[in-house]
Amino acid sequence: MFEHAGQGYAGHGTLCGALGVCSCIINLVIYDKEHSYSPVIDRMMWWYAQMKFPTERFDDISAFPKQVQAQAMTPLCHTSVSKWTLAAGVQVTSKEKYERCAKVAGEVVFTVVHSLNEYFAGRWKPAKWTPSKEIVHCIECHGPEGFLNYTEGMNQQQGHMECLLCHQDHTK
């Protein structure tokens, strides 16, 4: 049913497919007029960006245990995979890369199920995102802007990624 999300949605390397699928599931089970799903999805996205993947959680069933880890830095498939393949010294078409992505998908689902269990038990608390010291000056002018609270002006930062992965620092 969600096969289309593979390889960053039909091979485009956009959003990690596991994140897209889990966003759909979170939205389905938490949907309400207060948009309660939003902070859960938001937390999942920046959790992913902060993680070093793959973890060792699934190594006991993996053909490639103890793989090199690299911080994703972003929920974008292309960037996350590229950073990892460079760190691991493997090709994007390698079996090691596909195993890495399977482990990442498992880790995302595991973490989302844990978060949903916490949410429905009334124990889930949204964490507050804090920009890194490298981008705090970006956020002072360009954010943070909640997608439900659109306003005119400079506060157009959308997301909790590291700005400098895609943008040049125009203040220097």
101-105's contacts with Cβ under 8 Å and 24+ in sequence apart are 102/58, 103/53, 103/54, 103/55, 103/57, 103/58, 103/62, 103/67, 104/16, 104/18, 104/53, 104/54, 104/80, 105/17, 105/18
Mean pLDDT, residues 82-95 taken together: 96
Contact 160, 49 (CB under 8 A): yes
- Residue 16's pLDDT band (cuts 50, 70, 90): very high
Q: Which residue has the tokens 């700005």?
A: 163
Question: How confident is the model over 79-90, as a mean pLDDT?
Answer: 96
Give the mean model confidence (pLDDT) for residues 142-150.
61
**Confidence grade of residue 123 (pLDDT, cut at 50, 70, 90):** very high
Which band of pLDDT confidence, cut at 50, 70 and 90, is reported for residue 150? low
pLDDT at 153: 61
Tell me how far apart the alpha carbons of residues 158 and 143 are, in angstroms, rounded to a whole number.
Answer: 8
pLDDT tier at 53 (50, 70, 90 boundaries)?
very high
- Residue 144 or 98, more confident: 98
For residues 87-95, give the mean pLDDT. Answer: 96
Give the list of residues 6+ apart from residue 120 with CB closer than 8 angstroms, or none: none
Mean pLDDT of the chain: 88
Res 144: pLDDT: 65
